[in-house]
Structure 1
Amino acid sequence: MVSTNQHGVHSPFVFRYVTQCLYAKNKMHKNRSINVLLKTIAYFGFEKVSIKNKTQVKKLVQQTFPEIQFDGYPCDLLFVDKLASGTFQQLLSEGKLHNDSIILVDSIHRTAEDLEQWNHLIALPEITVSIDMFHCGLLSIRREQVKEHFRIRI
């Protein structure tokens, strides 16, 4: 499914996320990917977050949400620069992700290789919802949901 805004979204889960989180007026950071990260944590009320290789981002999240537990597993949200499908499968098999875990991948359109990696991830059967926001991408593991892919302009 290709949708550039909330009007083409038929999934209630994605529609609420887009309208109540992504399109909410509050801007939490000037960097779009970090803004999405912070708004997503606030929207879902996540408790366990894992941020890989981004010390400054981790500090910012800690300042904004002092109650967040970092690197507790299974995690509610994983924020990464890159994620190979093999690494995702390993995280899943080790129990580091749960049914409602969300993965935010930064800069999915940075290089052709990053975009190819993104396309491999969204094709995995375990990923039921994917949202391409150009600056970053969201992957969701929701076994109760039909597999759908969205492109949303933020």
Structure 2
Amino acid sequence: MIYQIQQYFQFLWRSSNQHGVHSPFVYNLVTQCFYDKKRYPEYKQIKKYKSELLKNNITLNITDLGSGSKYTKQNLRQIKSIAKNSGASIKQAKLLFRLTAYFKFQQSLELGTSLGISTLAVALGNKKGTVTSIEGCPEVSKFTKETLNTNNIQNTSIICGDFKTVIPELPKSTYDFVFFDGNHNKDATLSYFNLLLPQIHNDTVFIFDDIYWSKDMTDAWETIKNHPMVRVTIDTFHYGFVFFRKEQEKEHFTIRL
């Protein structure tokens, strides 16, 4: 926690808004998507979904294949506790919705379904697109699959399994969007990043969650930024955005949301 606080103050010091962004691609993304203030009707569905989770007293037996929770080491956890401490915030979910709608992602992949808040946001962002989400915990996977179905979300597919086992078995198609939100570990993050590089195209977007989770994760983020295939990155503190657009000169941005 101390590391994250220190990094947040450093982030505030070096970050900016759209002013001074000279890349038209990044400027448009920041002004038209990141800072979009419209009240989309889908926001109500996202809020309702999370609100119901925060009231849910069901207890699940959690199998952690990644770095685990910073809040508890207990395997038995209530849904409402997971939603409060580990689930995406409403602000984050809204951003994922806007991002999906902005780029019109057709094929999205999520590593780490959890309770499906982010999954729902991406699915709502383009209802004609598909979202494949991988979750390592059997009980969480089963619960979330049923909950999304109850909420009439038809364009998602949840796979239960270990990322390193499931990723090589995925269809060899390209993804428009990959959301890395499962294992906050440097070696694992870099491994999944490299595993999925063959399945990108010029306009694919990667997002890495919790890039300041630990020094380990920040090191992974710095390694990814310096990869020769990466052209543009945007650090928003919680999320790290990666773009592979060959027509862009290599640049790194730090943007306040």
Scaled to the shorter chain, the TM-score interval is 0.7 to 0.9
Q: Tell me the percent identity.
A: 34
Structure 2 partner of 1:11:
23
- Larger helix fraction of residues: 2
Asked if residue 49 in structure 1 is aligned to residue 108 in structure 2, the reply is yes
Alignment of 1:2-151 (within 5 A): 3-26=15-38, 28=43, 30-55=89-114, 56=116, 57-63=118-124, 65-71=126-132, 73-81=173-181, 82=184, 84-93=189-198, 96-151=199-254
Deviation per residue, 1:71-95 (Å, 9 max, x gap)? 47311110112563343222123xx
User: Residue type of the partner of 2:119?
Assistant: K
- Larger strand fraction of residues: 1
Deviation per residue, 1:19-57 (Å, 9 max, x gap)? 000011036465343232211101111111111111412
SS in structure 1 opposite 2:38?
Answer: coil
Evaluate the alpha carbon distance shift between residue 54 and residue 44 of structure 1 in structure 2; reply closer, same or farther with a 3 A threshold: same
Kindly state the Cα deviation for residue 64 of structure 1 after the two structures are TM-superposed: 5.0
Q: Which moved more, 1:72-81 or 1:138-147?
A: 72-81
Structure 1 partner of 2:82:
none
Kindly state the Cα deviation for residue 112 of structure 1 after the two structures are TM-superposed: 1.3
Considering only aligned residues, what root-mean-square deviation do their CA atoms show, in Å?
Answer: 2.1
Query: How far apart, CA to CA, are the structure 2 residues paired with 1:108 and 1:143?
Result: 24
Gaps of 5+ in 2: 1-13, 47-88, 133-170
Gaps of 5+ in 1: none
State which structure, 1 or 2, has the greater radius of gyration over its C-alpha atoms. 2
User: Residue type of the partner of 1:140?
Assistant: F
Query: How far apart, CA to CA, are the structure 1 residues paired with 2:93 and 2:21?
Result: 23
Query: How far apart, CA to CA, are the structure 2 residues paired with 1:26 and 1:50?
Result: 26
How many residues are treated as equivalent by the alignment? 151
TM-score (norm 1): 0.87
Q: Which moved more, 1:11-20 or 1:44-53?
A: 44-53
SS in structure 2 opposite 1:134?
Answer: coil
Stretches (4+) displaced over 6 A: none
Evaluate the alpha carbon distance shift between residue 89 and residue 120 of structure 1 in structure 2; reply closer, same or farther with a 3 A threshold: same
Kindly state the Cα deviation for residue 66 of structure 1 after the two structures are TM-superposed: 2.7
Kindly state the Cα deviation for residue 110 of structure 1 after the two structures are TM-superposed: 1.6
SS in structure 2 opposite 1:6?
Answer: coil
Query: How far apart, CA to CA, are the structure 2 residues paired with 1:67 and 1:110?
Result: 33
Query: How far apart, CA to CA, are the structure 2 residues paired with 1:113 and 1:89?
Result: 17
TM-score (norm 2): 0.54
Whose relative contact order is higher, 1 or 2, with alpha carbons under 8 Å and at least 6 apart? 1
